[in-house]
Amino acid sequence: MTLDQAIRAVEATLNSPHLRVDRKRTHSDETSYLLVVLDTSRSTVDDGPVDNGPRLVDRMTGAVVRITIPEALAKAKRMSLVQR
């Protein structure tokens, strides 16, 4: 799976037009990509809770899992920042 495919997999799970994947913060290792989803609404829209935050994408299956910020920080320490 490429980074672009991982980003498309995450984007397919997003339920708001105010969410986007931040490519600059992508980390990876041999098994997964760690992506960050940002809320771009700037708190101007009250559509209820926004599902921003870190996502882990399995490189073999493309499965996307939301993880907590502490989990993401711990994983990012063990992963490499993806160079564009």
Rounded distance between C-alpha atoms, residue 82 and residue 84, angstroms: 6
pLDDT tens across the length of the chain (84 residues): 999 999 999 999 998 888 999 999 999 999 999 999 998 877 666 666 678 999 999 999 999 999 999 999 999 999 999 986
pTM listed for this prediction = 0.87
pLDDT number for residue 18: 85
Written as one string, the DSSP assignment of 37-84 is EEE-STT----S----EEEEEETTT--EEE--HHHHHHHHHHSEEPP-
